[in-house]
Amino acid sequence: MTSKAAAPAPGAETSADSYLPGHGNGGYHVRHYDLDLDYRVGPNRLSGTAGLTCVATQALSRLTLDLGEFRVSRVLVDGRPAKFVRHGLKLQVKPARSMAAGTEFRVEVRYVGNPRPVPSRWGDIGWDELTDGALVASQPIGAPSWFPCNDHPADKATYRVTVTTSSSYLVAVTGNLVSRYQSASTATWVFERPEPTATYLMSVQVGRYDDVELVAGPGAGWFSHPEARSFRLRLGFGRASAVESVVSTVPQRAAVPPRLRRAFARDFGRQGRMMDVLQRLFGPYPFGEYVVVVTDDALDDPIEAQGMSIFGANHVDGRRTYERLVAHELAHQWFGNSLTVADWRHIWLNEGFATYAEWLWSEESGGQSADSLARMWHTRMRAKPADVRISDPGVGRMFDERVYKRGALTLHALRGEIGDPAFFALVKAWTAEHRHATVSTEEFVASAEAYAARSLRPFFTAWLETPALPEL
């Protein structure tokens, strides 16, 4: 299925999102982003030119983009200079001529500044400096911290991202590397993301990393381009990692600080097998490869991006302490990344499935069964206040533990309600039918009822719409 039409409503500076209407803009849909970035690590200086290929969803005399605190030097619309003004995190643009509904147009923005995270109720989100490098962690509203965009999860687009920085750093962007070329002291990396992708799932990682090949594939990895493959041989990147044997055919790579290579080999040694298990349960992996980045700094939580997951040095200890998080982030490639919520109130569809993947992997890998973990978490959730509706937790509780755990409990209870054959057939159909599109709770309920061949309204009312926790 192709990506659905963008959700933002026809309002210049607001979207239709029930939780974060101030992010995303009405009146147009972005089909493609072409980002050309020059980043200086030491001064944290970013110069960018962004080209957005858009289509008007209504008659437009002006439009608005989300963008952080950069100095904008020029805006063009279809090659003509456009008037523009900054208003907070909004860039208001008035083209030289109005556009009719259905018109395709291109916006070009040149900007420069020191990228910084976007302040939010969940902390600072977006482009962030590391001790030696940078990372992007944009969920849910951090994308404007590094490029002008229509920042709503349902406005999915394709991308081409070019990053120029010091040649002593490895660059990883959520996309397929198509070229890398080097001058005297800088290197330019070019990535393409062909699948429709939400703005918050685009990421840039810059650091002094080793490139580790976890699972090979024909023409796979950052170094699939001939120039890049030669670069790997010259600098010694891509040495084999001492991980356990795997049979997965999905190319998998990692960017890892040299000091963490040995511990990483242990902690991520079963990721190939994990990929195979999740493909058997959820259907084919939705992207061309999977990339893991481990920063040399500690992170509060791992971060998902399109075809990529980012972990902190604190998540790597050589004892597989955080292997459940490896499963959680990998599962987001299906639930959250390929299938992206149409509105943030549906976030349980992301986090419930990713949490349930932890339990399924535990059982498959010889740990506790999914049923025992469900019962343990049911007991813990029952001890918490019954004041959250999982289908609509409210903006302040989007990332509440109960959304994660009770979301997983809902899926486990549904599995018990309709049986394993129907449940896993439902899950595979869900990921296939909505591949690279957007989803909602209502659509999931309808799909579940189709596979159950009966109404499940009382079940979903109890689990998703009622604060009190049902019996398991």
**CA-based nearest residue to 163, from 148, 147, 152, 150:** 147
Amino acid at 197: T
Domains and their CATH numbers in the chain: 1-205 (2.60.40.1730), 344-465 (1.10.390.10)
pLDDT attached to residue 201: 98
- Cα–Cα dist 391/394, whole Å: 9
| Integer angstrom CA distances of residue 184 from 178, 211, 437, 446 | 21, 22, 42, 58
Residue 318, strand partner residues: none
**Host H or E run for residue 35:** strand 28-40
Q: What angle do CA 64, 65, 68 make, to 5 degrees?
A: 130
Question: What are the pLDDT digits (tens) for 199-253?
Answer: 999 999 999 999 999 987 544 444 433 333 323 322 233 323 333 334 568 999 9
- How does pLDDT run along the chain (472 residues), one tens digit per residue? 444 544 554 456 777 788 988 899 999 999 999 999 999 999 999 999 999 999 999 999 999 999 999 999 999 999 999 999 999 999 999 999 999 999 999 999 999 999 999 999 999 999 999 999 999 999 999 999 999 999 999 999 999 999 999 999 999 999 999 999 998 899 999 999 999 999 999 999 999 999 999 987 544 444 433 333 323 322 233 323 333 334 568 999 999 999 999 999 999 999 999 999 999 999 999 999 999 999 999 999 999 999 999 999 999 999 999 999 999 999 999 999 999 999 999 999 999 999 999 999 999 999 999 999 999 999 999 999 999 999 999 999 999 999 999 999 999 999 999 999 999 999 999 999 999 999 999 999 999 999 999 999 999 999 999 999 999 8
Active-site residues, by number, are 329, 404
Q: Which residues are annotated as a binding site for Zn(2+)?
A: 328, 332, 351
pLDDT attached to residue 3: 44
Does the pTM of the predicted model rise above 0.75?
yes
Concatenate the DSSP letters of all residues of 37-82 into one string: EEEETTTTEEEEEEEEEEEESS-BS-EEEE--SPEEEEEEETTEE-
- Cα–Cα dist 12/280, whole Å: 44
- Phi then psi for residue 334, to 5 deg, are -85, -50
* 370-375, Cβ contacts within 8 angstroms, sequence gap of 24 or more: 370/412, 371/412, 374/408, 374/409, 374/412, 374/472, 375/472
The tokens for 326 are 């490896």
Q: Which residues are annotated as a binding site?
A: 328, 332, 351
Residue 149, strand partner residues: 66
